Amino acid sequence: MSTTTPPSTPFTPAAAPERTPAPGPGPGGGADPAPVGEGRIGLRSNLRHIGALVRRNALQIKADPESMFDVLLMPIIFTLLFVYVFGGSVGQSLGGSREDYVNYVVPGLMAMMGMNISMAVGTGMNDDFRKGVMDRFRTMPIARSSVLIAKIVVEIGRMLVATAILLGMGFLLGMEIKTSVAELFGAVGLSVAFGASLMWVFILLGLTMKTAQAVQGVAMLVLMPLQFGSSIFAPPTTMPGWLQTFTDYNPLSNLADAARNMINGGPVAHSVWMTLAWAAGITLVTAPLAVGKFRKKS
């Protein structure tokens, strides 16, 4: 049995299709083609990417319900702890009782909740880099900022859940709205706006530190003086003069005073504008730094 070998045909590679330069500025009237994934992304596409990433982060929470323990339990524990440990003594110094202290401390705890929950953005960002999740995002033609914005949107949702539980505990313990429901929502919105600005700080911290434990450690060093050196838990009038000065410039004091007066009644203009100024300043400084650090790292 014999076989016949067909004559070999030399292989000629197919010619690559010519790329027609897009109209625009550049040599010859055309712009140089942008690398894949680095072209300018339109607003509609950016919003679609943010929505997809928000869904991805929400599904992560659904798959790991334990990640919501801080949101569900922290408002309950802190409210009961501060009301029943400090409520009697501080309430008397305010000229009332433990029930009066509830109306004082719960609006302040709204500021504290936002700050503590904001810290989770930094640790989550650090974990994503450590687990290689960002390697996947690096291969996708998406705006780098959409990854960060999606995380902030999800954390704002977690913050709203924690605030709702905190207010629910306050009402159970006797808190009263002495102004209006609209001003209560205004206090919640102000707390969320300030908390969102702090998220950029913790994102930058998460991108800078090597481990999530380091992020938590450094964050606590910042959080503790700001929280306890403020008007959240007690009136600053009983503090030493140097601490009162620190309290006056502490953004958490402005936020706590604004939320407290919006619920209980009182002047709010100065505290609200100072809180918004702090939120805008923090965002304008740290957001570009965080996005730039993220681009370099990813």
28-87 pLDDT per residue, tens: 444 444 444 445 666 777 788 788 888 888 888 888 888 788 889 999 999 999 999 888
CA distance linking residue 166 with residue 71, whole number of Å? 10
> Is residue 282 predicted with pLDDT exceeding 90?
yes
Q: Is 26 left (phi over 0), alpha (psi -120 to 50) or beta?
A: left
**Does 199 map to a domain?**
yes
Instruction: Answer whether residue 12 is part of any domain.
Output: no
CA distance 104 to 231: 10
Predicted pLDDT of residue 128: 77
* In a domain? residue 24: no
CB 116 within 8 A of CB 143: no
Is residue 11 pLDDT above 80, yes or no?
no
Give the total number of structural domains in the chain.
1
Mean pLDDT rounded to a whole number for the chain: 81
Structural domain contains residue 237? yes
For residue 281, being part of any structural domain is answered with: yes
Residue 291 is part of which domain span?
Answer: 43-297
d(CA 287, CA 280): 10
* Ordered DSSP codes for 19-33: PPPEESSSGGGEEPP
Does the pLDDT value for residue 271 go beyond 80? Answer: yes
Q: What is the pLDDT of residues 102-136, one digit of tens each?
A: 999 999 999 888 888 888 888 888 887 877 777 67
d(Cα 110, Cα 103) in Å, to the nearest integer?
A: 12
The answer to whether position 272 is within a domain reads: yes
21 part of a folded domain: no
In this prediction, residue 46 carries a pLDDT of 75
- Give the pLDDT confidence score for residue 109 in this predicted structure: 93
Give yes or no for a contact between 293 and 134, defined as CB atoms under 8 angstroms apart: no
232 domain residue, yes or no: yes
